[in-house]
Homo-oligomer: A and B are copies of this chain.
Amino acid sequence: MSNNIIDGKAIAETINNETAMSVADLARNHSLQPGLAVVLIGENPASQVYVKMKVKKCHELGIYSEKHVLADDASMAEVLELIEKLNNDPAINGILVQSPPPPQIDEETVVAAIRPDKDVDCFHAENVGKMLIGKSDGFFPCTPHGVMVLLERSGVDPCGKHAVIIGRSNIVGKPMMALLVQKAAGANATVTVVHSRTPDIASYTRQGDILIAAIGKPEFVTADMVKDGATVIDVGINRIDDPSAKRGYRLVGDVKFDEVSKKAALITPVPGGVGPMTIAMLLHNAVKACKMQNGRAF
């Protein structure tokens, strides 16, 4: 790999090893095993793949996991009944409902029903609020947290740097802004958020010492939009048609990698950048949930 590439796969592997060590320590010294319940409603093929990956990773790291599959036409009552059961199950420390659910299921209501201390995705309003306030007894959402860890493990301290975030989604842009602006080690960035209503986005992105692309538009960020020597984090995963590829498509990020990588001091690839971090931080959260629920330091 070119030496300005942030190897998300390798960093995720390190995090996973640390998680496995925590799991082993909990087992050996406290007779505890973190448990994660993954709820899949319906048969969305992408969701099936994600759920399988999460369950497999749990197994590798020694985390107990349960996969709960509900029918595509499951009712809200069925989903809420399952959540309630998992909320009260002491073997389960973390609960996640794979997104997106089928249309009859109101995702917000389901997320709000998850016990906040088992909400390892950090989608519950109480955990989102704790994150913004700067409290450490909730969770950080997996993808933005993964970006923070990628920066830290790559030796990029955001303190005093200008971080420019493209996109203001609840999953990435907004929590990214909240995490980076905190008065805390590994944060302390000056933060700018640009989005669909921003005129002349490039005039902002060119100021970014750290540029985080999370807008969901294939290869949106071109070299002329990037400051020389910036750290570029690409959160996008987009399929674009490619007849020459085996499956007829290839995955690209929100950043035009070929040209931007020549200008950036550091850059994440797609795939192999932010992606592997998301699951790593999920499992990190499952261990944290287990510790918190058992009154252990975290």
A residues engaging B (CB < 8 A)? Answer: 108, 124-135, 138, 159-160, 168, 170, 174-175, 177-178, 181-183, 188-199, 204
Separation in Å of the A136 CB from the closest CB of chain B?
12
User: What are 9 A-B pairs at a CB distance below 8 A?
Assistant: A125-B127, A126-B126, A132-B178, A133-B170, A159-B197, A160-B198, A177-B181, A190-B193, A190-B198
Specify which of A174, A175, A197 lies most central, judged by the most chain B CB atoms within 10 Å of its CB.
A197
Residues of B within 8 A of A181 (CB): 168, 174, 177, 193, 195
Separation in Å of the A118 CB from the closest CB of chain B?
16
Specify which of A132, A168, A174, A199 lies most central, judged by the most chain B CB atoms within 10 Å of its CB.
A132
Residues of B within 8 A of A132 (CB): 128-129, 132, 170, 174-175, 178
Specify which of A170, A175, A191 lies most central, judged by the most chain B CB atoms within 10 Å of its CB.
A191
- The 8 Å CB contact of A197, one of B138, B188, B204, is B188
Chain A interface helix/strand/loop/mixed: mixed
Nearest residue, chain B, Cβ from A196: B183
Q: In the docked arrangement, what's the CA distance between A181 and B204, Å? A: 15
Separation in Å of the A291 CB from the closest CB of chain B?
20
Residues of B within 8 A of A188 (CB): 195, 197
Residues of B within 8 A of A194 (CB): 190
Residues of B within 8 A of A160 (CB): 197-199
Separation in Å of the A145 CB from the closest CB of chain B?
16
Task: Tell me if A204 and B177 are in contact (CB < 8 A).
Answer: no
Q: In the docked arrangement, what's the CA distance between A196 and B183, Å? A: 9
Task: Tell me if A191 and B190 are in contact (CB < 8 A).
Answer: no
Residues of B within 8 A of A193 (CB): 177, 181, 190-192
Residues of B within 8 A of A195 (CB): 181, 183, 188, 190
Separation in Å of the A7 CB from the closest CB of chain B?
29
Separation in Å of the A194 CB from the closest CB of chain B?
5
